Amino acid sequence: MIQRLLERGGVQLAASPEGLAVSGDVDFEIAAALAETGADWLATRPAGTRITLDLCGVERVSSAALSVLLEWTRRSRAADVTIREVRLSPPLERLTRVAGLDDLLPLAART
């Protein structure tokens, strides 16, 4: 079952038993709401839950998307939720690599 948590300015955040999925152009105008909404969802997961963060639908990238991803990573740890895998769009994957964050995240293998 997929639950739409946020839809604003062409950006969508959805939750499923697997985890969180984002699509749209994440910029600084939406980043705070996106981070907070996802963090609230993470706080409701039982300790020990394993999730996936799917940002494959984020095509136009800014550092705002990275800040959301890092906030969710921090909140996951605080809630004792394990991020099993992070899926990134190619542009976001490139930005993550340039920022030196690729070693900090359990990135999905490219197919």
Question: When comparing pLDDT for 104 and 41, which is higher?
Answer: 41
Q: What's the total number of domains in the chain?
A: 1
Residue 33 lies in a domain: yes
Residue 60 lies in a domain: yes
Range of the domain at 54: 3-98
Average pLDDT of the chain, as a whole number: 92
Residue 105 lies in a domain: no
pLDDT of residue 84: 96
Q: What is the CATH number of the domain that holds 45?
A: 3.30.750.24
Binning pLDDT at 50, 70 and 90, where does residue 101 land?
Answer: confident
Residue 103 lies in a domain: no
What is the reported pTM?
0.92
pLDDT of residue 7: 97
Percentage of the chain exceeding pLDDT 90:
78
In 58-101, which ranges are E strands? 82-88
Q: Which residues contact 91 (CB under 8 A, 6 or more apart)?
A: 58, 59, 60, 61
